[in-house]
Structure 1
Amino acid sequence: MGIAAVAAGAVAQTVQDNSVPQAPLDIPANLQIFGKFDPNVRKPTAIVNNTVITGTDVDQRVGLVLAANNSGQVSAEDRERLKLQVLRQLIDETLQIQEARTNDITITKPEIDQSYDRVARNFNRNPQQMAAFLREAGSSEKSLKRQIEGELAWQRFLRRKVEPFVNIGDQEVKAILDRLEASKGTEEYNLREIYLSANDATAQQVVTNARGIITEIQKGQQPFEYFARQFSEASTRAVGGDLGWVRTAVLPAELAAAAQQMQVGQVAGPIEVPGGVSILYLTDKRQVLTADPRDAKLSLKQLTLRFPDGTTQAQATQRAEAFTKALANIQGCGTVAKVAGSVGAEVVDNDTVRVRDLPPQLGDIMLKLQIGQSTPPFGSPEQGVRALVLCGRDDPKSGQLPTSDQVENQLQSQRVNLRAQQKLRDLRRDAVVEYR
């Protein structure tokens, strides 16, 4: 989640919004644009229902975003694109705060300070150190507290004005449990999504922007979640675009078709969906109510051979070769300490690692190992060479149905999320926004 997402947590899900009928527009077939217009050429300041968003507000929030994601220098083009995204977020944030106040919801200074202190602790800083850190990043304490206020105000508004009117029936829950039981063995996909809205006039530009985002994702300099938080226009932006575990039946047809063709770790897009385009990232997949070997919990010993500063490539190669030969002498976990000592390697025990939490290529190796065997060495000259020895494995039990409460909570979250999107859309439509 973002730096100030201190009280989030609802499981987000992609849902088709069928509540608003598609109204045909009376647009000439051979239209002509009179005058020049580029929606992306805009000074990053605005007045939203008489609330001013200044250029400083935008710059400081950009600094906050970059600091939260440990981003270094970004290109001028990326910064300008981020500025426009931040401006849209600040407009939404302003509308949310205004709507909360209209409904007599005000976040007090002590509440904001308490959340601010918690964020500071997450960064291993006290409030004063956090303020200094933000200033160095080109942001400010005020900017972070403003984001905290927006998040808390909107969450409280949803709890008071939306959640009480979302009702989940027992029969509805039972029907879902019955469908889950009937779909045992069906594949589920753990997906993340970036959604970009588009219409006929902006479709080409949005597709071009999506391709640019995909290019940046594939460079691997930032995780997918970073781009989802900065560019996605869905409410799942707050959780890095995480859709959770979903089956194709609950996905729009276009996303379902793409997910079924993807491999774990793959990015797909831009995918045309109703109202815009999506970029998908498949983090994992499994079968419904079926035990997955990758859920096995492993008991491991990790050997690490570090290279001191100044180690030459030849020296590193020689030590790595000695490490590889030593691994061949491992005969069960009882011999690990002796073998490690012979080459000056460190040993660390871990009894709670799941196969699926390992990098895919390493997880595949672990599934083929017998107790007492070692992986081949892996690592880098900078971080050292490592190997994992399998000391035990607790295989997963057959998958179990979720409880009625779990299903009800998920349905509640989905519907609150959908109504929140609809409410924000209505606020945008009614807002008076003047760009400067």
Structure 2
Amino acid sequence: MSWTLKLAASATVLALAGAGYAQDAPETAAPAINTTTGLRLPSNPELFGTTLPTEIRATAIVNGDVITQTDIDQRLALLAISNGGKIPSDQIQALRQQVLRNLIDESLQIQAAKAEEIKVTPADIDKTVERVAANVKQTPDQMATYLRSNGSSIRSIRRQIEGEISWQRLQRAKIENGVNVAEDEVKAVIDKMNASKGVEEYRVGEIFLSATPGNEAQVQANAAKILAALKQGGSFVGYARQYSEASTSPVGGDLGWVRPEQLPESIAAAVRQLAPGSISDPIAVPGGFSIIAVQDTRKILTADPRNAVLNLKQVSIAFPKGMTRATAEPVVQKFAAAVLGVGGCGGADKLAADFHGDVVQSDGVKLRDLPPALQEMMTPMQVGQATRPFGSIEEGVRTLVICGRDEATASVPTYEQVYSQLSEERTNLRARRYLRDLRRDAIIDYR
């Protein structure tokens, strides 16, 4: 039962109870006392001013900038959209608090950029909105309509974009220019990589939630709820962008390729135990908790077969709608037998013709971009070989024939690449400290 219904039910019960008491009471009962007599209120008062709708009531005021309940609701709806449209009811309150913290940080970042006379124009935001809409195959107007129909708004996305652009430009102006990387440091990293040839590296993502001794238990509980949502299929990148307090949040928490020894020991220990595609439990780190995702692995200066670039021909056959599996399976078995003798790419067109199928050629396909099952199957395959048929009766059955294969070669990163990575790491650390100082110096009035 909603709170509105609970209150309505309570009012009804009280009214009925009062009526029953009046019927049973003796006629000599003392009259009820009007507790407002001393106020001398008019019986039909005229109201002045404007009634404020509840959806714009302030939840926090950050150095004079108002964050409303609507801002929180629309950003929460945006998170729901990115995670399939649903947020578990037992997580909503904690996520509201996290959204509020994010909006406060966003306000501080925008304000700090303006204080440094860093301008983010509507045209800057429009360009990013267009790219975001294009990524979901919509126009900005179509995306705005979709967001509105799902409880969010284009304004919420525009504000988030403004915050990210402001923070990036502020970092370049205030932080990056002050970051120095010595030539000897770069050479030391390159020498260490040469000495570490064959050592495993990990592509790591991080969601960092800051904590103090006073709120540590609450933050840990929030981290556990985020982890539960991720395990139910939530987007790690989406949650990192929305909730991570690390400077990597605008890029979905991506730390890039790192070796365990580059990470805090508690995180390094977890990374070594995680398989690609796995997510860690919340890990206690200095200043808070981190949730770590290992996206991929590779060995330093060692060629990875999954980096091969393929030229492919796909042969696919379709089945009439409603065809039963029993009817289709004999055709699939014949197709599988024919695939074994396809005779390389030159035979792909004949294979398609024999089964009334289609041929699509695609060049420059990275093996690691294929689904994991196909990666595993195709890693040892040679030019001219075809995969086992895959797909479904409903969506069609297909095979991939390898027409060309360019193997990747391993090489030492360039001086410029190592310099850039060291500079980025130091910039991220300083950015985190800078945001901490902005929070400390802010005047925030919670309502």
User: For this structure pair, what is the TM-score category when the shorter chain's length is used for normalisation?
Assistant: 0.7 to 0.9
* 2:200 is equivalent to residue 184 of structure 1: no
1:194 aligns with 2:200: no
Structure 1: which amino acid aligns with 2:403? C
Task: Find the counterpart in structure 2 of residue 434 from structure 1.
Answer: 445
Aligned CA distance change for structure 1 residues 148 and 288 (closer, same or farther; 3 Å) = same
**Cα distance in 2, alignment partners of residues 174 and 339 from structure 1:** 55
Structure 1 residue 417 corresponds to structure 2 residue 428: yes
1:240 aligns with 2:257: no
Residue identity opposite 1:261 in structure 2: Q
| Structural mapping, 1:153-302, within 5 Å | 153-219=166-232, 221-302=233-314
Q: Secondary structure at the match of 2:248?
A: helix
Q: What's 1:51 paired with?
A: 65
8 Å CA contact 2:315–2:351 kept in 1: the answer is: no
What CA distance in whole angstroms lies between the structure 1 residues aligned with 2:316 and 2:64? 60
* Corresponding residue SS for 2:343: coil
The 1:70/1:205 distance shift into structure 2, 3 A limit, reads closer
Q: Residues 193 and 305 from structure 1, CA distance in 2 versus in 1: closer, same or farther, beyond 3 angstroms? A: farther
- Tell me whether 1:91 sits opposite 2:119 in the alignment: no
- Please, which of 398, 416, 419 is the counterpart of residue 405 of structure 1? 416
- Match of 1:264, SS state, is coil
Contact persistence 1:44–1:58 (CA under 8 A): no
Change in 2 beyond 3 A, CA 1:75/1:309: farther
- Mean CA deviation greater in 204-213 or 386-395: 204-213
Over 3 Å counting, the alpha-carbon distance change for 1:126 and 1:230 in structure 2 is closer
Aligned residue in 1 for 2:76: 62
Q: Which amino acid aligns with 1:292?
A: D
Unaligned stretches of 5+ residues in structure 1 = 1-42
Q: Is the CA contact 2:314–2:400 (under 8 Å) kept in the aligned structure 1?
A: yes
Question: When the two structures are superposed, what TM-score results if normalisation uses the length of structure 1?
Answer: 0.82
- Deviation string for 1:403-423 (max 9, x for gaps)? 222222222222222111111
Q: Does 1:362 align with 2:374?
A: yes
Which runs of 5 or more structure 2 residues have no equivalent in the other structure?
Answer: 1-56
CA drift of 1:251 comes to: 0.7
Amino acid at match of 1:417: N
Letter in 2 for 1:230: Q
Residue of 94, 108, 115 corresponding to 1:102: 115
Superposed CA RMSD? 2.5
Q: Do the aligned partners of 2:387 and 2:400 also contact (CA within 8 Å) in 1?
A: yes
Please name the residue that 2:335 is paired with. Answer: 323
* Structure 2 CA distance for aligned equivalents of residues 121 and 354 of structure 1: 23
**Which has the higher relative contact order, 1 or 2, with Cα contacts under 8 A spaced 6 or more apart?**
1
The offset of 1:118, in angstroms, is 4.5
| Change over 3 Å in CA distance of 1:431–1:318 after alignment to 2 | farther
Pick closer, same or farther for the CA change 1:382–1:273 going to 2, 3 Å: farther
Report what 2:27 is aligned to: none
Letter in 2 for 1:163: E
Find the partner of 1:371 among 383, 400, 409: 383
CA shift in 2, pair 1:196/1:148, >3 Å: closer
CA shift at 1:241, angstroms?
Answer: 1.6
Indicate if the aligned counterparts of 1:301 and 1:333 stay in contact, CA closer than 8 A.
Answer: yes
Cα shift at 1:358? 2.0
Partner of 1:306: 318
- Tell me what 2:54 maps to: none
Residue 26 of structure 1 is matched in structure 2 by none
Q: Looking at CA atoms only, which structure, 1 or 2, has the larger radius of gyration?
A: 2
Q: Secondary structure at the match of 2:379?
A: helix
Q: Does 1:389 align with 2:407?
A: no
Query: Residue 397 of structure 2 aligns to a residue in which SS?
Result: strand
